[in-house]
Structure 1
Amino acid sequence: MAEKLQKYRCGSDANATRPARTTRQRATGDADPPTTTGSDGPNMSNEEMKADILLSLRGDIAKVIRDELKGALAEDFQAIRSELQAVRSEIANNSKAIQAEMDIIKTEVRDLQGGLSTWSDQVTSLQSTVTSLQKEMSTLKDKCEDLEGSTRRSNIRIAGIEERPGSSSPQAVAKIIKEVLQMDRDIKVDRSHRTLTGRGPRDRETPRVIIAKLHHDGDAAEILRRARGRAPLFHNGHRVAFFFFPDYTASVAKARATFTEVRRALRGIKEVRYGLLYPEFLDPKTAMEYVRNNITPTESTRNAGHSCQKFALSLPVWFCGHSVHIP
């Protein structure tokens, strides 16, 4: 920079000491004698000098600023470098810990896969066992239902007998059966009792049903047959609202109740005799559709046999005097 300024100064002095042109030189038009600036060669113009000086100043200023920034940021760069090194070390340590945990997780996953395979085999075995047990339970349920129904074959239910002390005893029940149904022999009743159901305030006026266990199995069927054939029933010269029913199990009673609408539809047709055969039950909706489509109150007796045959295939019944069993 100092050299540039010195050069600029020398050029200015040379221009100032240039000799003036003589009158003769001006008159003759002779050129000015060449001037020299010492060892630097031809004189530089002012613009070139300014540009050269500005360029030198820029370079010097940039160098100064660069040196100052390096000095100011050197400590910060060192601190950042130290922090980055610490972060790298921490990341490396954490990576090792994470890798160790991943190895443990992989081991546990492999163990779980082996356990799941074993459990899957056990679940498959249990499913087959459950299926087998369900089939066996269904078979046992049917057998229990059949056994319970067999034990109730000699039972009858009597509704409408007024509740009085001793009115449900075996002797009283046997006497009522003989007198109401006008039987020519005594009926032996082993046990009898009223149903053990809760009674609300409105049910206190309605007597509970009596369940009677008859000694002979044939007596129950004969009593039910006589009760249907001799309706309405009389006792001591007065008409009584006694009703005799079979003693069905709860599941059979519910199944029979589903056909109430079908029986109600057939009740007004004189040519049709109907009745459910235990334990055969079909879909009550299918039976009702057949009744509505094929059996009407205006059907003639001539077509009754044909209708009976079709209806018997749709619903297991005693129909037109014939007992039909649906396989």
Structure 2
Amino acid sequence: METRRKWLATAVGAQAAAATVTSLTHVPLHALLLLGPLLGAQRLSARVTAALGTVAVGLTLLDASPLTLRDLASPLNITAVSVWAVVTAYSRVRAERALDRMTRLADTVQEALARPLPDRVGHIGLAVHTRPADPHARIGGDVHDAVLTCAGPRVLLADVKGHGVQALRVAAAVLAAFRRTAATEPDPVRLARTLDEHLGPELGPEDFVTLLLVDFHPGEARIVNCGHPPPLRTGRRLHLLSPPRPSPPLGLHPAPCLQRVQLAHGQRLLLYTDGLTDARDADSIPFPLDSPRCHAALTAPDPHDALRCLTDLLHRHTGGTPLADDLTLLLAEPVPTALGRPRDAPPRPADRSWTL
């Protein structure tokens, strides 16, 4: 609104200046009166532009009185240009309204896809930070979600190859398939295969989706990794949880397997996309995930503060250069309950295999 007022003031001022110069100097500068409707066509409504054109024609007729046939040329020219300006303003306003409707629709779709996660799902506390490579997008090729199953919390983090509309379409398919099946499929390995089957029709011959599925149980996390950067576990030191048998991403004939790792109270699990590992400084040195500063950041008392500290380190490492890829950071930690045992926790099994 403020911008349109400035444009209106500019257009009226230009017309007034042109009329003043013409009347005082008797120099025929009627063409300058077109500044009003021409400026109005760029930012103002068709009605205001028509008013500016009417004023321009009126000033021309007043200056030409008594009117002769020869004097009609200037008013007719100004009238023709004013009509063109009104049509232009009308078309522009319609296009702006259509764009505004499409933008609101796109925002609604993106909000549905990138709905914020709660700070807690079952006995797991969550903190999330996302930063699309496109500053005008709310989400990119990275997708994440969390559900509470009958066995406990389950978290998804996936990274779709590429950017733009195609990546967004595949990302929507990933989330739709996960939300449809995640709460009812008890086996994360079978869930990964199911997601691969659902995504098949959406993927081209060179498309793929890296995937992390994490099921949280009392004292442990069960991970399925299909071509995704391995999670990072905090403790006395940072531990990279590489899968025992690497699997290709979804869309490239994945072979998912289950990895079970300890996750005690006081430990955290960082899930991330390659926007973190691909970040480089001016000397093309990758971001040092195993540095003491990263350990200090990730062990900050509040998990949201921990992610802020980590992104600050990343910003300093890259020198403020925009990231070339989407970035998603998801920090999960077991949280105590009033009963002294995590909610929704099944009985602890007697035998347990660990990946340390």
Taking structure 1 as the reference length, the TM-score comes to 0.28
Higher RCO (C-alpha 8 Å, min separation 6):
2
Taking structure 2 as the reference length, the TM-score comes to 0.26
Query: Normalized per residue, which structure has more strand?
Result: 2
Query: Normalized per residue, which structure has more helix?
Result: 1
Higher Rg of the two aligned structures: 1
